[in-house]
Each structure stands twice: as structure tokens, then as C-alpha cells.
Structure 1
Amino acid sequence: MEETVGALWHKLITGAAEKRYPQEAVTLTSIGKAAGIFFRALGGDSGLSVSAASATEHGARRSLKQRIAGSGARTELTWLDENTLRLPSALDILPQRSLNRDLYLWLIALAAVDEPGHTAWVVRSQQATLTVFDRFPGMRSRYQRLLDATLALRPDPAKLPEDEAAMEQAIRAALANPGSIDKLPRASRPPYPVHLWLHPNPPRTSPSQAGGKAPPSGEPQQEGDGKSKKTDDTKRRQAERVDMPDNKNPFILFFRAESIFSWAEYVKANRPTEDNNDPAADPAADDLNHLSVAQDGKSVASRLRFDLDLPSAAQDDMPLGQGILLPEWHYKKQILQPNHCCLQPMVAREAAPCALPHHLAATARRIRSQFEALTPARVWVRGQFDGTEPDLDACVQFTADRLTGHAAERGLYRAHHYRDRDLACLLLADLSLSTDAWVSDTARVIDVVRDSLYLFAEALSATGDRFSLYGFSSLKRENVRFHVIKEFGEKYNASVRGRIQAIKPGYYTRMGAAIRHASQLLAKQQATQRILFILTDGKPNDLDQYEGRYGIEDTRVALLEARQMGLRPFCVTIDEKAGSYLPHLFGIGGYVVIRKPSELPKQLPLLYAQLTR
């Protein structure tokens, strides 16, 4: 009963303090894909993904009702960091749904033209507004409608202290006439949030989020966790690393009773796995200003146990040669670092020749029969000047033209020609640790990848197309593992099937180095079409700085280099969030997302057939 009354009171007082229109709300989820497309279409950085922003404190004066309700202290604003465009998770501050949607579009346009620098926030915001007006004149009328609606939300200067009133008047003038205000008057409090501008003081990016240092030893980064529950919570929260408090005697309270409420800022929660998700954890995290994160050091039960140390030489795959030094792109410095990575070609040490698995036999027979129709065939070519037989149709047409006085020289013979498929394809499979995750009760990602390689090889061996199969994983830049499964000059046989059977999940996904070496191998093939097939289940990452934007940009440059060699890269992925980064890497039409991973083995050969039709 007490909880029910409390919930009703909270709803009542919050509704009275905060004037919002939930029935007119527009969520970021509903416009997420359109937001990314619109941002890039307006000239925004194509390497940024779109995600929800967390609420931050603004420090402005609040009304009495807001102070009683404990609301209005934080708000969601728009900002950009090195990896992400952060937009409010939902907009319901305006009385019409169309206005809330227009506000999203305006903020996206503002973010697309914003130029970070040391300019004051008010000047930079006005400059960005004028730039939007200049580049996209159609946004001016939308801005005027939004201006009239948002000014009604702002506090009345007549009810504010003198210094805050002067600052509010200056902001109103800057909104109404962009470019008219050079600086804001000083005031004892920050201004009320300006929903038509970007965040005045965005949260700083932590090193791990910026693609910096990896976590300390003992905190491995998991790429996949088996059958863990999915989550769509991509909000960014402020956190700080603290030491684990030593509370060996829980009956002795080492704090003053009057400070008990401050302990809500610290919640001891082990989150190395997602086996026991608390549904109330996300709302609780949203209510905290800062999250304190500590390393407990205690072991926990997990469905997935792994060791990221390299195996001994006797147990590891057999290296081929001394390793190959490859460059890597540093997107912050905009330079290609020579000899930055060491790629080690390897072949499975224990890969006994084997037959095609029984559960794939029927599917393989059907696919082979379909692909045999694509094999080179002898066809008649008409209208030739020399050939084995006269082309009767051409002779009749030539005679008719000559009788009408319009005869022109033409070929009067037909000849047999062989229509050859001049193709070469290299399939590069991601064998990182995330492929150890389960996609069903009986199969893991690596099992699906293995079946896909089997059927892909069966299909291409039926057409006679030249193809090769490789896999890759990595453990920092000094050890990029490149697994040789089938080379171009090798026949598809029981030995190749044995190597396919021997593939297993490994470390991380340094994709740029693997693509560069695969491109060099494929570029050596003399063929009209050279296709680089990349099979993956996630974005590039590694233990070092190869995380986030760094890995994305290096992979993108490696793909540009492949296209300059005359290759055609194409990505097949089962990552449901691939739409946030694959368009930047492969372009529209350069990738496909398989929504049901179990369908990948059947879909992969068909995708190849469509690409080479």
C-alpha cells in the first residue's frame, strides 16, 4: 500500500512540475535508421554511429514544484564524440508530435555542420545555426516553428534575478536573431537548457570509449557471452573507477548516520557476465549522477570460460614463415603507419581429411546442381565475319537490305564460342572469440561459419571458379593470425574439408591487417572479376587501441586500398547492429545482414551467385 501511494504521489507531483506531452513523444528508436541516413546526407561524419544520450545536470534554477518533486535537474541534450552522435532517447517537450520530430531533424542538421573548437558555446551555436540556414534553406521555416514552441518553455526573465534575467534575454536574442550576441552576461547560475542547440559542456570520452587503453589485466574484454540476453540500452553514462571498499565486518558502520543517503551513489554490482540481469538496474543507473566501478577480483560462474593467452607451440596451429609486416592507418594522425602489424599465416596442425558432414549432404547436392548451370558452355555466336556455318538470319536480312539499296557490311556467319566465367573469389572468415556464442540450443556461430564454408566450397567447385578460403583472428598488433584453409592453386578435396572442420574460435578481430593481406593474395589472380568476400559477426576490435573509431577507420582504409587494386569487397554479417557501421565501410549495396544466423550456410552461395550473375 505504501509503495502504491508513493508511486501515485510521485506521478502526481512530477506531472505538475514537468510539463510534457508523452502522447506526442517521438523516440530515437523509431527514427534511428532515418537519423543516421539524414546525418550523413547533410555532410555529417560518416564514421559516427547514432545512439541515445544520457541525461546530464544543467545546474539552472528550478521551480518550487520541481524541487519538491526532485525533477528537472537533468536533461538529455545532443552532442558528438569521436565515435557517436548522441541524441535524446525521446522528445516529448513540445505539444505536437510533428514538432518533436522536427526538433530531432534540426538537432541532426546542427550536429552535421558543427565545427568543434575553442569558440564560446553561444557563438558556436549561432554560427552552426547560420550555417544550416545557408546550406539547407528549407530548414529555416522548420526552425521558426521550433523557435516559437521552445521559447514558450523557457523561464520568464521577469521572474528571474537580475543577472539570470540578463543572461536569459541574451539567449532569447541569440535564438531569435542568430549572430547577434557575442557573449553571455555572467550569472550566478548556468542558463536553462537550450533545446535548439547542442550540449554546452558534453561529458568527456573515457580512454576505452575513445579507442584507448584496454582494461587492466584480469578484466578481459568479452566479444560474446554465449546465450546472454540482448539489450538495446546504448545510453552513455558517466562513471569513475574506484577501489573496492573493504567491509569485512558488516556489523560495524564506518559512517555517520546523517550521511546514509549518500551511499545510494555506490552500488556493489558484479557485472562480468550477463547471466543474472536485474531488470531494475538500468532505471537505477539512470537515476545516479555518476556510476562508481570497482574491480572485485572474485571469480564468478559463467557459461563461457576462455583464456586469452596464446597456446604453446606444440598445441597451436603450425606457422608458415616468419610473419608478414603490414601497415595500419592511424585516423587521428591521418597517416599510414608502416610495418605496424605482424600477420602470421598458419595452417591447422591436426586436420585429418574428412568427408562432407552428413547433415549437409542433401543441401550440398541441391546447391551443386544449381551451380552447375553456371559452368562454362558452348554457345552459338551470330553475326560473325568468319565462322563454321552461314548465319541464315543475317543472310536474309542482308539480301533484303541490298534490294532496297541500303546494304551495309555485316557478318554473315555464326561460330561456336565458349562462354567462360573469368572469376576469382577469396573468402575471409572472422574466427574471433565472439564466434563461440550460441545462435540456437544446438549450434554456435563457429558451427554456422563452418557449414557455410563447406557449402560455399561445394558450390564454387561445381562452377569451376577459382576460389580460396582463409580465416583470421588477432591478439594485438604483434599477432594477427591468418589461417590458411584453401589456396587458389589447391583443389577442393578431403584435406580442405579437414581444415574447415578444424577451425575454432580465437581471439579478437583486427580486420584491417587481414583484409590487406587477403587483398594482396587476390590481386595476384588474373581474372575479370575478383571478389573479396568477408564473413563476420561483429565490428573490428582488439585489446589495444584498435577499438571503436580507430579499428573502423583502419578497416575502411584497407577496403579503399582493395578497391584501388581492382577488387570488389563484399561483407556478409550476422551482426544485427551492423547498419551503424557497415555503410561507412562497404557503402550501400556492399554488404548484407543475415537476420537468422542459421540461414547463413544456405544464403552464402546464393549471394555469390547474385554477385557474379
Structure 2
Amino acid sequence: MEELVGKLWHRFITRAADREHAEAAVSLEEVTGTVGILFRALGGDGGLEVATAEQTPYGATRGWLARIASGQRRVALAWRDAQTLRLPERIALFADRDLNRDLYLWLAALAAAEDGAPLPRAWLPRNQELTRRTLARFPGMEPRYRRLVAAHLPLRPAPDALPPEAAAQEQALRAALREPGAVAELPLAPALPEPVPLWLHPSPPLADSVAPGPDTGDADDPEREAAPEREVDRRRSAEVTESPEGRDGLLGIRMENIFSWAEYVKVDRTTEEDDSGDAARTLDDMERLTVARDNRSVASRLRFDLDLPAAGYDDLPLGEGIPLPEWDYRRRTLLRDHCRLQLMEARDAQPCDLPPALARTARKLRTQFEALAPARTWYRGQAEGSEVDLDAYLHFLTEKRHGRVSAELGLYRDFRSGTRDLACLLLADLSLSTDASVNDEARIIDVIRDSMFLFAESLSATGDRFALYGFSSRHRSHVRFQLLKGFDEAYSPRVRGRLAAVKPGYYTRMGAAIRHATTLLSAQAASRQLLLLITDGKPNDLDHYEGRYGIEDTRMAILEARRAGLFPFCVTVDREAGDYLPHLFGPAGFIVIRRPEDLPRELPLLYMRLTA
């Protein structure tokens, strides 16, 4: 009975103290696309990812009802760092849903204004300057800002009901909101003022600054790919510590210190896995994470498994390695000869026919693509040909009578096939992540292999010049570039044997592979050159080539391809690709295949649309 009464009391007092408007709430998930587009359109750093802001403790004075309802107050305010733009997971500040949505857009515009001239370091002048800068650069945002201020001020504490020092603070904040730049500094008071949700965080978490030690993780780890997806990418405070002695993971504290157990719970995730989901629930309950390494992690063993095989069992290297540059976005410089690319050919590839399971689809696609083959037509004004061009001959006689005969005049015509004058290089991601299952019968690598089979069958019907390559990597010193079909080769059983022999392995250093593909494709004399990339995830590798670094190097490689006159286009099966591919390829430079098993059928048809 006591427990029931306690639950009822907690529910009542929590609802009484709750100032949110749940019925008008807007979630970040609803507006992520719009916010990302607006942030980049207003000049924000295109490499930043939009993610959820962590709720952080906030020490402002609260009323007695709020103190009874909960212990420490936590708020989610917007902020950004070098990797992400962090916005609240949910906004229910106003009773009007449109205002809550406008607040998301305003915060994105405010964060975009940080990319510009240096800003004051103090919280109050910094946010005022950001507001002034945003309103000056984008006058269309002012009506939205004024509506937000007008709706927010009545929700703030009334200065008349506050102690003198707190009232002075509140008056200063209200003046700064109404007229950004009007307040030079915040008056001193015993407690912090109420948070300002229209501004960026006064002291954002510094979780990115925690260095967990040498990198032993791997984004291509199949066990990580198979893990259940988290609903919210939540940022938490963290610290690094030495690993406690012992492997049992038991709680090593004395009973007199039992009140500290909620602050320190040793969750040993490196030596024993738990599929029950308890670890995820424990993680959600922890406010601060302590990370330690004991050199027995799964990632370390996986990295050992990804060591290169002996030369007698590995694919055949073709020639010496090729040095390639890499873009370091932090230093904004191109590192010369930073990577080494090795052209490879499958050792055990045997000539073969098209897999029987693909024969029917291949026949249908060949029929469709044969319609793209240029028809035979008359070529006029030729220096030699199958017969005299009467129009050219009459023109010749007319010019001759007037004494104006051209020495370069062609008097013949010839009947021959036309030409589409285009070249395509298909570059496939063969990293270990493609070993993940699509369904009970196939893996991503099987889907990619079938796609390349049907792609080659289709293009061989048009006569278009095309090449097929795959890539993976193990550190910058060994970027593997798998030869499947060169431009100078015919599509033959030997090429099909190479396609049948492709297998997943290693990591995804995408920038180096794109740069070498650009060199090969640029050497083709064609009026249009299409660089088609198939992948299943972000660029990553063993070293620092992950996150923002890998994204920016890949983006620079794509920009270099465009400057060379190529048309890069990405086909991906990664459902989260919308978070980063617009920054890499532009809004119209990629397509996401929601059902990976549809890729073999969709890829040739996509090529048809791109080259029609």
C-alpha cells in the first residue's frame, strides 16, 4: 500500500511541477532533415552531423514545487563542436507546436552563425553577438525570432518576485533577448539565472576531449553491425581511468560507502557479452561514464584477425604500389604521397559463365539496354565513304563556280553505327562490413556481386566503355584496389570469374580509391565520364581515418573528380546515408536503396537514367 501511495504521489507532484506542453511537442527526429538543410544553407559547416544534445545539470534556483518533484535539475540546450550540431531531443517549451518547430530552426541558424568572425568567449556577449549576426545576415529570420522572444518572456520568472540580485540578472537577460547587444555583462547573483533556450549552451559537455587511448575499434566489425540500433544518439559526460584489477567486474567498495554505488558501476563489456539488453538499460541510467582499457577487448582480437594473409594465400599484386595524397581537414592541407594503393587481382579466379539465377534478369536487361545502342545512320561530309554525298557535291559545284573551293570539303557519305561517347567506372566497396546479412539467404557482398554481374551484362549490350573495380584497405599503407574489368578488356568468362571470386575484408579508405579511379577514368577519351560508387557505409580505417577526417578526405576526392570533368554518383544501402552523403556528393549526387536485395535490378536501370 505504501508503494502504491508513493507512486501516486510521485505521479501527481511530477505532473504539477511539469511546465512542458507535451501535446505540442516536436522531436528532433521530425525536423532533422529540415534543420540540416537550413544549417548548411545558412553557411554552417557542411561536415557537421545533426545529433541529440545531452541533458546536463543546471544549477538555477527553483521553486518549492520543482524541488519536491525532482532532485538535480537537468536541461537540454543546443551546442556544437567540431563534429556535431547538438539539439534537444524534444522541444515542448511552448503550447504552440509551430513555435517549438521554429525554435529548432532558430537554433540551427544561430549555430550556423558561429562560422565566421571570432566571437566573445563569455556566454552572454557571445550569444548576443550570434543573434545580431544571424539577424543581420538573414533578415527573414527576424519575424521568427521576435515571435519566439514574445512567447518565451512570459515563461521566465517575473523580476518583481525575485531577490534584488536575481532580479537584476533577469532584467539584463530580458533586455539582451529584446535588443541583442544591449547588455555588456551579466550582473552577479548567488545563483544562475533560468536557462535561455533561445541561446546556445553556456558550458557544453566536453565529451569529445576525452581520449580513450589507442584506437582499437572497427566500424566494420560484423558484431557491431549486428547490434540492435539505438533509438537516440545521446551524448554523455565521460572520463578515462585505469582499468581496475581483476576480471570479475564485481563491485569493490565497503558497505559504509554504499551511497557511492549509484555513481560508480563497473560494467565490464570487454570480456563478457550480454544479449539481454540489461547493459543498454544500465547505460541509459548512468549520468557519467568511466572508460578503461584492459587490452583484452574484442576489437583487439578482431584487429588481429584482419592482419594480411601470407603472400601465398593473398590476391596477386599487380605492379608496384601507387603513392596517393590524402586531405587533412584539420590542417587544411593535402598530404603528398600519404597513402599507398596496391592494384590486386584474385588469385583463385576461374573463368565461368553467368550464374543461372541471374540469367532471366540478365536477358530482360539486355533487351532493354539494346534499345540504347546507337542506330546505324548516314555520316555526311566524309573524306571517303560508301557513296557520293549529293548535297555536298552540289555545294562543291556552287562554290567552284564562284571561285571559292574548300580543300577540306567532304564529298562522300558513309552508313555506320553511331556512338554514345561515354565511359563509366564502377567502384564497389568490398570492406568487411559487406559481409553483413541482408536476409536469411544473402549478404551485402552477394548483392553487390550480383549487381556487378547484371551491370556488366547490360552495358555489354550497349557497347559503352566501362570498367569494374573493388576496393578495401588496411591502414594508409595498404589500400587494396581490386581489378575486375579494365577499360581495355572485353566482358568475358575471365571477367565473370573475377566477379565470382570477390570477397569482403578489411576497411574502407574511400578517398584513395576514388582518387585512383579518377585517374583511370580521366584517361578515357569520352565526352561524358561517369564514376559510380557502390557502398554500404561511411569511410573508415584502422588509424584516424574515421568520423570527420574520413568524411572530409572523401569529399575532397569527389571535388577533385568533379574538377577533372567527371560525374561522381553514389549508390548506397546505408539507411543513415542521408546524414553524410549530401555533404559528400550533394543533394542530387546519390541514391539510397532501402531494400538492398533490390540493388542488382535497380543498378542497371539507374545507369540508364543517368546516361539517357
TM-score (norm 1): 0.88
Q: Is the CA contact (8 Å cut-off) linking 2:380 and 2:389 kept in structure 1?
A: no
Find the aligned partners of 1:11 and 1:296 in 2 and give their Cα distance.
43
Q: Which residue of 1 aligns with 2:563?
A: 564
Is contact 1:14–1:71 with CA below 8 Å preserved after alignment?
no
Moved more, 284-293 or 448-457: 284-293
Cα distance in 2, alignment partners of residues 138 and 530 from structure 1 = 41
Cα distance in 2 for residues equivalent to 1:262 and 1:548: 34
Task: Tell me the amino acid that sits aligned with residue 26 of structure 2.
Answer: V
Name the structure 2 match of 1:29: 29
Between stretches 455-464 and 199-208, larger displacement belongs to 199-208
Separation (CA, whole Å) in 2 of partners of 1:272 and 1:426 = 44
Partners of 2:205 and 2:313 in 1: CA distance: 47
Aligned to 2:401: none
Instruction: Answer whether contact 1:214 1:545 (CA < 8 A) is retained.
Output: no
1:530 and 2:532 are equivalent in the alignment: no
**Residues 64-83 of structure 1 aligned to structure 2 (within 5 Å):** 64-70=64-70, 73-83=73-83
* CA 383–309 in structure 1, closer or farther in 2 if over 3 Å, else same: closer
Aligned to 2:15: 15
Number of residues of Structure 1 aligned to a counterpart in Structure 2: 588
Q: What's the CA shift for 1:297?
A: 6.0
> What SS does the aligned partner of 1:576 have?
coil
Report SS of the residue matched to 2:330.
Answer: coil
Paired residue type of 2:345: V
In the alignment, the residues of structure 2 paired with residue 480 and residue 249 of structure 1 have an alpha-carbon distance, to the nearest angstrom, of 40
Partner of 2:404: none
Structure 2 residue 425 is matched with structure 1 residue 423: no
Deviation at 1:134, TM superposition (A): 1.4
Residue by residue over 1:486-514, the C-alpha shift from the partner in whole angstroms, topping out at 9 and shown as x without a partner, is 11111111111111111111111111111
Taking the TM superposition and a 5 Å limit, the aligned residue runs for 1:105-504 are 105-115=105-115, 117-206=119-208, 215-217=214-216, 219-225=217-223, 227-246=226-245, 254-257=253-256, 259-268=258-267, 270=269, 276=275, 278=277, 281-282=280-281, 284-295=282-293, 307-379=305-377, 416=415, 418-504=417-503
Read off the aligned partner of 2:40 and give its amino acid letter. R
- In the alignment, which residue of structure 2 is the partner of 1:57? 57
1:278-329, CA deviations, whole angstroms, 9 ceiling, x for partnerless residues? 27835x544432122334666789xx99822121111111112221111111
Could you tell me which residue of structure 1 aligns to residue 400 of structure 2? Answer: none
Q: Tell me if 1:592 matches 2:594.
A: no
Q: Alpha carbons of 1:299 and 1:542: their partners in 2 closer, same or farther (altered >3 Å)?
A: closer
The alpha carbon displacement at 1:592 in A equals 0.7
Equivalence for 2:603 = 604
- Does the residue aligned with 2:139 lie in a helix, a strand or coil? coil
Name the CA shift for 1:321/1:280 in 2 (closer, same or farther; >3 Å): closer
**Secondary structure of the residue that 2:262 maps to in structure 1?**
helix
- The answer to whether the 8 A contact 1:207-1:213 is kept is no
Cα offset, 1:432, TM superposition:
1.0
Amino acid at match of 2:307: D
3-state DSSP of counterpart to 1:206: helix
Task: Please name the residue that 1:405 is paired with.
Answer: none
CA distance in 2, matches of 1:575, 1:251: 39
1:46 and 1:273, CA in 2 relative to 1: closer, same or farther beyond 3 A? Answer: farther
Matching residue's letter, 1:360: L
Alpha-carbon distance change, 587 to 254 in structure 1, aligned in 2, over 3 angstroms:
closer
Q: Is the 8 A contact 2:369 2:462 kept in 1?
A: yes
2:57–2:73 CA contact under 8 A, matched in 1: yes
Distance 1:491 1:484, change over 3 A: same
Mean Cα deviation higher: 246-255 or 459-468: 246-255
Give the AA of the match of 2:366. R
Partner Cα distance (1:470, 1:248) in 2: 46
CA distance in 2, matches of 1:332, 1:519: 24
Q: Secondary structure at the match of 1:152?
A: helix
**What corresponds to 1:543 in structure 2?**
542
Q: Distance in 2 between matches of 1:277 and 1:153?
A: 43
Q: Give, in whole Å, the separation in 1 of the partners of 2:255 and 2:274.
A: 36
Q: CA deviation at 1:239?
A: 1.9
Alignment-derived partner of residue 403 in structure 1: none
* SS, match of residue 370 in structure 1: helix
Contact 2:249–2:267 (CA under 8 A) maintained in structure 1: no
TM-score (norm 2): 0.88
Using the alignment, how far apart are the partners of 1:603 and 1:273 within structure 2? 42
Structure 1 residues 214 and 565, CA gap change in structure 2 (3 angstroms): farther
Question: Is contact 1:427-1:534 (8 Å) kept?
Answer: yes
CA–CA distance in structure 2, aligned partners of residues 36 and 52 of structure 1: 13
Cα deviations by residue, 1:534-564 (Å, 9 ceiling, x for unpaired): 1101111112221111111111111111111
Q: 8 Å contact 1:18–1:72 — kept in the other structure?
A: no
| Aligned partner letter, 1:36 | G
Residue 250 of structure 1 deviates from its aligned partner by 9.5
Distance 2:9 2:219 in 1: 43
**Letter of the 1:573 counterpart:** T
Q: Deviation digits for residues 246-302 of structure 1, max 9, x if unmatched? A: 4689999632435435434425152789872527835x544432122334666789x
**Counterpart of 1:533 in 2: which secondary structure?**
strand
**Matches of 2:576 and 2:34, distance apart in 1:** 14
1:76 positional shift: 0.8
CA RMSD of aligned residues (A): 3.2
1:382 Cα offset (Å): 9.8
Q: Aligned equivalents of 1:333 and 1:487: distance in 2?
A: 36
**Distance (Å, rounded) in 2 between the aligned partners of 1:536 and 1:498:** 22
Q: Distance in 2 between matches of 1:207 and 1:308?
A: 29
State whether residues 62 and 72 of structure 1, in contact with CA within 8 Å, keep that contact through their aligned partners in structure 2: no
CA distance in 1, matches of 2:269, 2:285: 19
1:79–1:111: 8 Å Cα contact kept in structure 2? yes
In 2 relative to 1, CA 140–437 (structure 1 residues): closer, same or farther, beyond 3 Å? same
Q: What is the letter of the counterpart of residue 124 of structure 1?
A: R
Find the residue that maps to 1:138 and give its secondary structure. Answer: helix
